[in-house]
Amino acid sequence: MTASKPSTPKAIEAWHRLMEWLLPLLDHYPRTRRFTLATRIENLLLEVLELLIEAAYTQHKHPLLQQANRKLELLRHLWRLSHRLHYINIKRYEHGIRLIDEPGRQIGGWLKQQGAGA
């Protein structure tokens, strides 16, 4: 008997869209910040992806989703800082925030679905 593979949660799909758009932008950060701010943003993107995938395959989703939510909030702050330091323009900032908010809503819904509340 084989276990059926769960379908990819919407939060993971939305996170992939965010990563596909945002990762190439990090290459354009000033060299002085590429290995600090840009690397931290990249690491957060990968860490959240890892947490979401782990949550998709475990019964104990709530702590993983809460951790992903906290990291997502840190990403929002670093993204805002990137804009304030003029590493990204206002259009990219706004588009990025929309892309960040979409999986945020999905994670919140996923948490509520677990019966633990967001």
pLDDT digits (tens, 9 = 90+) for 99-109: 999 999 999 99
- Measured between alpha carbons, how far is 38 from 7 in angstroms, rounded to an integer? 31
Say how far apart CA 39 and CA 42 lie, in whole Å: 5
Q: Which residues contact 110 (CB under 8 A, 6 or more apart)?
A: 9, 11, 55, 61, 65
- Scan for tokens 């809503």, then name that residue: 105
Specify whether the CB–CB gap between 78 and 45 falls below 8 A: no
- Residue 10 and residue 99: Cα distance in Å, rounded? 13
Average pLDDT for 89-112: 95
Distance CA 107, CA 88 (A): 26
pLDDT at res. 3 = 52
| Alpha-carbon 61 to chain mean position | 16
Q: How confident is the model over 24-34, as a mean pLDDT?
A: 93
At 86 the pLDDT is 96
In this prediction, residue 115 has a pLDDT band, given cuts at 50, 70 and 90, of confident
End-to-end Cα separation, the chain, in angstroms: 35
pTM: 0.87
pLDDT at 91 over 70: yes
Question: In the prediction, which pLDDT does 5 show?
Answer: 56
